[in-house]
Amino acid sequence: MSVYRIVLLGLLCMFGNVVVASAQERAYFVTYDHYLEERGNLEIAFATTTGLPKNGERSYTAPWLELEYGVKGWWTTELYLEGVTTRGAGNGFTGWRIENRFRPLRSEHRITPVIYVEYENINEASRIQKEIVGSGSLLFEPIAELTEEHAHELEAKLILSSAVGAWNLSENFIVERNLSASEGFEFGYAVGVSRQLGRLAKSTACRLCAENFVLGIEAYGGLGSSEALAGAEQRHYLAPVMSWRVSDRSTLKASAGIGLTRNSDHALVRLGYSYELPAWRHR
């Protein structure tokens, strides 16, 4: 908990001086803000998490595919398909997830809440680390063995997000329950602050203009469980993030997370590309 408080205090200090609200492209990989997919739009995204573990464990790359659809202006649903590949320890399909995000308030407020609910059908080889909960390090047995251990999990998040000027500040509190084992409730967090570099769009097409870039930083990790806090065993990361709106429909994102605790990997490097299909809008 102390790591979370220190990081949050630092982010609030960075955030402190801005005063006018505006929307921006989300640069985070783990933290969610209050912006949902536009009604009828379908976004297709591909991303990877590459982990550099400690203690001589083999590095890995975990790719995932996202299909995000705007059902209503206040409801976005998303399907994830994920896998993993390692150096010498095998590769495999690690499962799927269905996510739903709901905005209970139609208009934006100083702090806009979003309710997040996700069902996960994954196995112990999962490495995408779209969130981190509980405590303990990743398992590094051969992938073929880990994919035999399946888990059905239900996850909920409270997302609180503020847009002020060119800045965004978002906080996520995570609760997860493993429906396949008696492990109590596991907790986690993610917090991020980001800034759109430019404010005014140019009258001519410009892909390298400042308004197409968002820079920020996010922190995330596990906070133990209802059975044990296990502070010394938790994993926490601090990650600079960047997004570049390459075109009106596509965005590139990158992040390099640094592990802050003993059970964290040395680093988590994330890359992502998304493409929006507005043709899916309701007629």
Helices (H), 16-160: 143-146
Position 1 scores a pLDDT of 40
pLDDT in tens for each of the 283 residues of the chain? Answer: 443 343 444 444 433 333 333 345 679 999 999 999 999 999 999 999 999 999 889 999 999 999 999 999 999 999 999 999 998 889 999 999 999 999 999 888 999 999 999 999 999 999 999 999 999 999 999 999 999 999 999 999 999 999 998 899 999 999 999 998 888 999 999 999 999 998 765 556 788 888 899 999 999 999 999 998 998 999 999 999 999 999 989 999 999 999 999 999 999 999 999 999 985 544 4
Q: Say if 283 falls within a structural domain.
A: no
Q: Are 225 and 134 in contact (CB under 8 A)?
A: yes
Q: Is residue 202 part of a domain?
A: no
Question: What pLDDT is stored for residue 181 in this prediction?
Answer: 80
Residue 14, pLDDT score: 39
pLDDT of residue 233: 94
CA distance 52 to 193: 25
The pLDDT value recorded for residue 106 is 84
The pLDDT of residue 280 is 53
Residue 224, domain member (yes or no): yes
Look at residue 98 and tell me if it is in a domain: yes
- On whether residue 11 sits in a domain, the answer given is yes
CA distance 233 to 224: 8
Report yes or no on 33 lying in a domain: yes
Q: What's the CATH code of the domain at 173?
A: 2.40.160.40
Q: What pLDDT shows up at residue 182? A: 80
pLDDT for residue 224 = 95
Are 234 and 222 spatial neighbours (Cβ–Cβ below 8 Å)?
yes
Whether 282 is covered by a domain: the verdict is: no
Domains held by the chain: number? 1
Query: Taking the complete model, does pTM exceed 0.95, yes or no?
Result: no
- Note the pLDDT of residue 26: 79
d(CA 283, CA 265): 47
Separation of alpha carbons 265 and 137, rounded Å: 8
Domain residues for the domain of 47 are 2-197+207-277
The answer to whether residue 227 sits within a structural domain is yes
